[in-house]
Amino acid sequence: MASDHQSTLTTSLPISTNEDDLHSSALLPSPAPRKSPSSTLAFISLVITTAAAFSFLFFSSSKPPNPSPHSTAALSSRPLSKLHHPVVLIISSDGFRFGYQFKTDLPNINRLIRNGTEADLGLIPVFPTLTFPNHYSIVTGLYPPYHGIINNYFTDPISGDKFNMASHDPKWWLGDPLWETVSNHGLKASTYFWPGSEVRKGSWNCPTNYCMPYNESVPFEERVDALLSYFDMPSDEIPSFMTLYFEDPDHQGHQYGPDDVRITDAVVEIDALIGRLIRGMEERGVFQDVNIILLGDHGMVGTCDKRVIALDDLAEWVKIPKEWVQSYTPVLSIRPPPGYSTSEIVGKMNEGLGSGRVENGEFLRVFLKEDLPNRLHYSDSYRIPPIVGLVGEGFTVTQTRSTGQECGGAHGYDNAFFSMRTIFIAHGPRFARGRKVPSFENVQIYNMVTRILKIDGASNNGSVSFADTVVLPAHSN
Ligand SMILES: [Zn+2]
């Protein structure tokens, strides 16, 4: 397989055993040229070429890339010095697009990169590249049809019930999220915000003091300090698995687009929070003992009103009433009432879009969900509406054509777009220092966490062997 993704084989730098031994820039990789598909014109061809590139990520049937050879000693994890059990902390910085880390100097994030393991060209989100589906894939190892959160908002076609981001009924949330897996094994977990964390499932009952009810007004510093306070507790009270969530820089990305200076400011702020966390852990003597995974849920791309596809413009071919549309953009989802032929509607829509007479029509392609490319893993759920449109990078679908000229940012597009990638930076005793691994999908993370915590996870879409290419083997004693 001679694609960009496959040619980026795992490379490892000389593995050091000491924090910051890799300060010398001679040992640092120069950032690889960041290739971004030339966006819109490459839309369809990208879909085809990346299908092959990503297919190796599905289940464990394909071979994961092997780490470069180094001595066994350099590849073993480091013993814990203060903690009595392994701890994994996953930090999500919402909408932290891959590449934001190069906007300016970020000393704390760079410290984690330098002394940890990084996905060289970023972490690949699941489709749709939206906040709730992705956060829940990270903690379940499942693609959205299997964990049930197929969009940030959707309607159950059988019950008619509506899911939204405040729905905590366990009927929506399938699979075993990590906090549930961890507590099923008699270990403690804590969640300082994460989609799904307030849902009571299995032996997880969202315990007070360990499971924070979502409140976006809690200052970020307060979240960091609350997390640090867990390390002041008696050893057996310290959670084995912890989450921490920041809404930024997603918020600024939507408002101003990914290239605005206010993104740089937001990223600097995230870096300062990471610095606060590192300092607090160092004061408690646990920084080198905690496995920290810093990631995002998805990237961000600039949008502008001139890049709009309006469904009303298709009226000459087929009328799509707004009542049929469950979501417009960047995932167009349509559920016509019973009695309509969905394949006929798809055919008519694509005929109009391809006619050359619909503005930006070439940047929307409509599918029966079962005909979507397999690599998207977006068909095997009754919750997914029967008609799904893939929207060109940076384009927006609306019902009627607007006259505004607003610009901002969005995500939710095809996960093959480089702009939808986010970061994966892992630091701690089970991660090699100064190591780069190829990009992978976030469904692989669940198995990494269960491997570190030495527990059996639920079955999932990640590959068991892939986790071994990122996580170091357990220390022998
Ligand atoms: Zn967002």
Q: What is the pLDDT of residue 305?
A: 80
10-residue stretch averages of pLDDT, the chain, 477 residues long:
35 54 39 39 40 38 41 69 96 98 98 98 98 98 98 97 96 98 97 98 95 97 98 97 98 96 98 98 98 98 92 98 97 97 98 97 98 98 98 96 83 98 98 97 98 97 94 81
Residue 409 phi, psi dihedral angles, 5° rounding: -145, 160
* d(CA 132, ligand 1 centre) in Å: 10
Total-model pTM? 0.86
* d(CA 299, ligand 1 centre) in Å: 9
Q: What is the pLDDT of residue 16?
A: 53
* d(CA 412, ligand 1 centre) in Å: 8
* d(CA 258, ligand 1 centre) in Å: 12
450: annotated active-site residue: no
* d(CA 236, ligand 1 centre) in Å: 37
Q: What is the pLDDT of residue 280?
A: 98
Q: What is the pLDDT of residue 304?
A: 87
Q: What is the pLDDT of residue 405?
A: 67
Q: What is the pLDDT of residue 67?
A: 44
* d(CA 133, ligand 1 centre) in Å: 12
Q: What is the pLDDT of residue 281?
A: 98
Which one of 131, 396, 450, 469 is the catalytic residue?
A: 131
* d(CA 245, ligand 1 centre) in Å: 13
